[in-house]
């Protein structure tokens, strides 16, 4: 149970941050108006990812959450770097 909990908590945190960041930055217009709703969505998203991790096998959670982090975080950072969002 501990590997599943740690994978959900440790890998789910940056994944939730990337998802909420994309939610705030992707829509056109002023990103500051969407920042507070994105922050309010962060904690429930993190809890859902941790709960999903507890229901799966440890290897599967590390693979899925690690892959999602490896894809979404560089995508979000590259979109910000090239000024395609925000």
* Domain that includes residue 41, residue range: 11-81
User: Does residue 17 form part of some domain?
Assistant: yes
The answer as to whether 16 is a domain residue is yes
In a domain, 2, yes or no: no
Residue 52 falls inside a structural domain: yes
pLDDT at 86: 61
Q: Which residues of 60-84 are buried (b: 16+ CB within 10 A; e: fewer)?
A: ebbebbeebbeebeeebeebeeeee
Name the pLDDT band for 22 (thresholds 50, 70, 90).
Answer: confident
If one counts the domains in the chain, the total is 1
In a domain, 4, yes or no: no
Residue 40 inside a domain? The answer is yes
pTM of this structure = 0.85
pLDDT in tens, 32-50: 788 898 899 999 999 999 9
What is the pLDDT averaged over residues 48-61?
93
Condensed to tens digits (0 to 9), the pLDDT of residues 68-83 reads 999 999 998 898 888 8
> What single-letter DSSP state applies at residue 29?
S
Q: Is residue 5 part of a domain?
A: no
């Amino acid at each position: 149970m501990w590997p599943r909990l740690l994978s959900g908590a440790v890998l789910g945190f940056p994944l939730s941050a990337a998802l909420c960041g994309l939610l705030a930055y992707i829509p056109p217009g002023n990103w500051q108006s969407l920042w507070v709703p994105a922050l309010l969505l962060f904690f429930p998203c993190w809890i859902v990812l941790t709960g999903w991790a507890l229901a799966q096998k440890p290897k599967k959670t590390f693979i899925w959450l690690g892959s999602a982090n490896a894809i979404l975080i560089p995508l979000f950072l590259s979109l910000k770097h090239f000024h395609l969002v925000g």
